[in-house]
A and B are shown apart, each in its own frame.
Chain A
Amino acid sequence: MAAKDVLGRRGEDLAAAFLTGAGYLVVDRNWRCSQGEIDIVAVDGVETVFVEVKTRSSVAFGHPFDAITAQKLARLRRLAAAWCAANPGDHRRIRVDAISVIAPGDGPPQIDHLARVF
């Protein structure tokens, strides 16, 4: 595993723990299909939430949110539809969230959660 993948994996773990702590129920992680991958699928009350997690070790090359582009969000929206088709259930209300994790090698990580970014 490359260092960037280790960092990404760690970020996703931190994000999942953060969501659980906030009362969300994480139902799926790293769900893949031919179109790509969803980092986290969680349930918040009646809403199904698709979460894009972006992790960086510092902001030297920009804030993680800056790397979440309109194209990436559009793909996540398509993936959400594919996930709903593959996982039957009540998915009448869905939303897309973004979580940034700044995880320096030394020191505690900073987690920032934006709801309804799309």
Chain B
Amino acid sequence: MAIAHTRAVALFGLTGTLVDVEADISSNLPSFVLIGLPDAALNEARDRVRAAATNSGCPLPNRKLTVNLSPAALPKHGSGFDLAIAMAVLAAAGVISLDSVAGVVHLGELGLDGRLRPIAGILPAVLAASRAGASTVMVPFGNAGEAGLVPGIRVVPVSSLRDAAIWHGGELEPIVVDAIESARVDEPADDVLDLSDIVGNEDAIEALTVAAAGGHHLFLLGPPGAGKTMLAARLPGLLPDLGAEDALEVSSIRSLAGLPVGASLAVRPPLESPHHTATAASLVGGGSGVIRPGAVARASHGVLFLDEAPEFKPAALDALRQPLEAGVVSIHRANAVAHFPAHFQLVMAANPCPCGQYGATDSDCVCTPHVRRRYLARLSGPLMDRIDIQLRVNRVTAVRLRLGDESPSITSVAARQRVTDARAAAAVRLEHTPWRLNSQVPGPWLRSRERRLSPATTTSIDRALERGGLTMRGYDRVLRLGWSIADLAGAVIPTPDHIGRALYLRRAL
């Protein structure tokens, strides 16, 4: 009889590929063949599409239907191809316009009643369609807001298969149905966690600000009740709003993870705080068949907070080393590789020993030295090596509490302004380099002839290096911190005082 074709998007990780959906109707006994590496959920599309078409009043022809998803060698997952399959078959049957269907990318899952259900991953799919040059995309009504976030592509939201067929020129009477909405987004209550809640931990607040300004990873060590969790949870509040590209990436990851996206891009940096029983796969992402983003990808352009870090499995922690270095997670499977962004800022918090009291002034530790050493040794050297700021946090004393009442600490909004200014200063200095933040700058560049600080400025760290108290890598990290502190202070170049404070921020252990 006839052949028709339309397009859909296959997602692998965040990478979308346009897929040609071809339908052929041949004069043979009724059957429905779906080829082109569909997974189990996609194979069931045959029954969904047939029932949905019948219940929408435009039944599929009683002939042999062959639907091919091309490129045939690319594995395809999930239920998002239902609409494209239905449209291709109906066009081949002559119910709707061949030309109209061929020019549109279709995304959406069909219910048996013919209504369209929202699917996960609409944002990266529409983005991929737009980048591949598609001009029009048809999406379920419940995904309309999310699809509309992608600029430069026409979005056609439809609530049922019948509406889609009518849009493509099918001669049917419209029937009003209740569109299936996607899960409602709870607007994030901004600034609930304010820096001004913190009393008496000025050192820690300063360290947090430096971490935010330079994008430095942060390790907080201290007894229970010192406010480590409270501090870490306030770091995203200090980070500036995301840029357009970053916001699109953050929202894409949310969409892919099946989290509600809403009708506007996420502009605030995300915070992910996985529980310490997390596996390596849950942190970096994985899964058989569909590869889902892990906590690292969901924390991209934001903060990954690991509370009680030594309680994590060593294998899970060490899985973070490669993403920390590369800023991207690549998950390899037999048939493909999925890439996820991983530009996150790592914050770890730990007690100094299993009982937590070691080093506290007001109580005694009951752990043996051996147990104490074993506890922190769970954080591997190579991982700790990548963390610029290692700060000891102490419990707040009554005196500090009283002092804190008299001089309230800085608010998140004010601190964010300082951070934004410092980042702008760093961006000007790093203008003709591939880096944007101090934490990304390699040591040799900082020590190069044009950038080198005067010997008088670096006396303290030069001496630490000579004595062996500081490794060469540690030296570079102190230099980076020094520049961040100088940027925050509005200084053109770090002073001896800035370098001294940078050295202090490395001295937790």
Question: Is A14 positioned at the interface, with any CB of B under 8 Å from its CB?
Answer: no
* Interface residue SS majority, chain A: mixed
Kindly state the separation between the CA atoms of A117 and B27 in the bound complex, as whole angstroms: 8
The residues of B that contact A117 with a CB separation of less than 8 Å are 28-29
The residues of B that contact A66 with a CB separation of less than 8 Å are 30, 62
A10: min CB distance to chain B, Å? 21
A residues contacting the other copy or chain, number (CB 8 A):
12
The residues of A that contact B27 with a CB separation of less than 8 Å are 114-116
The residues of A that contact B62 with a CB separation of less than 8 Å are 63, 65-66, 100, 112
Question: Is A98 positioned at the interface, with any CB of B under 8 Å from its CB?
Answer: yes
Question: Is A25 positioned at the interface, with any CB of B under 8 Å from its CB?
Answer: no
Beta-carbon contacts under 8 Å, A54-100 to B = 63, 65-66, 68, 73, 98, 100
From B28, B29, B62, B63, residue with most partner A Cβ within 10 Å: B29
Closest to B30 in A: A65
A70: min CB distance to chain B, Å? 9
Kindly state the separation between the CA atoms of A65 and B62 in the bound complex, as whole angstroms: 7
Contact B30 A63 (CB under 8 A): yes
B394: min CB distance to chain A, Å? 77
Kindly state the separation between the CA atoms of A54 and B30 in the bound complex, as whole angstroms: 14
Kindly state the separation between the CA atoms of A68 and B62 in the bound complex, as whole angstroms: 12
Beta-carbon contacts under 8 Å, B25-69 to A = 27-30, 62-63
B63: min CB distance to chain A, Å? 8
B30: min CB distance to chain A, Å? 5
Kindly state the separation between the CA atoms of A111 and B30 in the bound complex, as whole angstroms: 15
Kindly state the separation between the CA atoms of A116 and B63 in the bound complex, as whole angstroms: 13
B interface, size bucket:
under 10
Kindly state the separation between the CA atoms of A49 and B503 in the bound complex, as whole angstroms: 94
The residues of A that contact B29 with a CB separation of less than 8 Å are 65, 68, 73, 98, 114, 117
The residues of A that contact B63 with a CB separation of less than 8 Å are 114
The residues of B that contact A100 with a CB separation of less than 8 Å are 62
Beta-carbon contacts under 8 Å, A17-46 to B = none
B24: min CB distance to chain A, Å? 16
Closest to B27 in A: A114
Closest to A52 in B: B29
A34: min CB distance to chain B, Å? 26
Kindly state the separation between the CA atoms of A98 and B62 in the bound complex, as whole angstroms: 12
The residues of B that contact A63 with a CB separation of less than 8 Å are 30, 62
B21: min CB distance to chain A, Å? 24
Closest to B63 in A: A114
Closest to B54 in A: A59
The residues of A that contact B28 with a CB separation of less than 8 Å are 114, 116-117
Kindly state the separation between the CA atoms of A100 and B27 in the bound complex, as whole angstroms: 13
The residues of B that contact A112 with a CB separation of less than 8 Å are 62
Closest to A117 in B: B29
The residues of B that contact A114 with a CB separation of less than 8 Å are 27-29, 63
B355: min CB distance to chain A, Å? 72
Closest to A66 in B: B30
B29: min CB distance to chain A, Å? 5
Closest to B28 in A: A117
Kindly state the separation between the CA atoms of A20 and B363 in the bound complex, as whole angstroms: 104
Beta-carbon contacts under 8 Å, B92-137 to A = none
From A63, A73, A112, A114, residue with most partner B Cβ within 10 Å: A114
Contact with A along B254-296 (1 / 0, CB 8 A): 0000000000000000000000000000000000000000000
A85: min CB distance to chain B, Å? 26
From A65, A66, A98, residue with most partner B Cβ within 10 Å: A65
A39: min CB distance to chain B, Å? 15
Beta-carbon contacts under 8 Å, A96-118 to B = 98, 100, 112, 114-117
Kindly state the separation between the CA atoms of A36 and B62 in the bound complex, as whole angstroms: 27
Kindly state the separation between the CA atoms of A65 and B30 in the bound complex, as whole angstroms: 7
Kindly state the separation between the CA atoms of A100 and B28 in the bound complex, as whole angstroms: 12
Contact with A along B182-216 (1 / 0, CB 8 A): 00000000000000000000000000000000000
Kindly state the separation between the CA atoms of A114 and B26 in the bound complex, as whole angstroms: 10
Kindly state the separation between the CA atoms of A63 and B60 in the bound complex, as whole angstroms: 11
A75: min CB distance to chain B, Å? 14
A7: min CB distance to chain B, Å? 19
Kindly state the separation between the CA atoms of A29 and B30 in the bound complex, as whole angstroms: 25
Beta-carbon contacts under 8 Å, B415-429 to A = none
Beta-carbon contacts under 8 Å, B394-429 to A = none
B299: min CB distance to chain A, Å? 52
Kindly state the separation between the CA atoms of A8 and B30 in the bound complex, as whole angstroms: 21
A77: min CB distance to chain B, Å? 14
Kindly state the separation between the CA atoms of A115 and B29 in the bound complex, as whole angstroms: 10
The residues of B that contact A65 with a CB separation of less than 8 Å are 29-30, 62
Closest 9 CB pairs of A and B: A63-B62, A65-B30, A117-B29, A65-B62, A65-B29, A114-B27, A68-B29, A117-B28, A66-B30
Could you pull out 18 A-B pairs where Cβ atoms are within 8 angstroms? Answer: A63-B30, A63-B62, A65-B29, A65-B30, A65-B62, A66-B30, A66-B62, A68-B29, A73-B29, A100-B62, A112-B62, A114-B27, A114-B28, A114-B29, A115-B27, A116-B27, A116-B28, A117-B28
Query: Which residue numbers of A lie inside 8 Å of B, CB to CB?
Result: 63, 65-66, 68, 73, 98, 100, 112, 114-117
Instruction: Given contact pairs A65-B62, A114-B28, enumerate 14 new A-B contacts (beta carbons under 8 Å).
Output: A63-B30, A63-B62, A65-B29, A65-B30, A66-B30, A68-B29, A98-B29, A100-B62, A112-B62, A114-B27, A116-B27, A116-B28, A117-B28, A117-B29
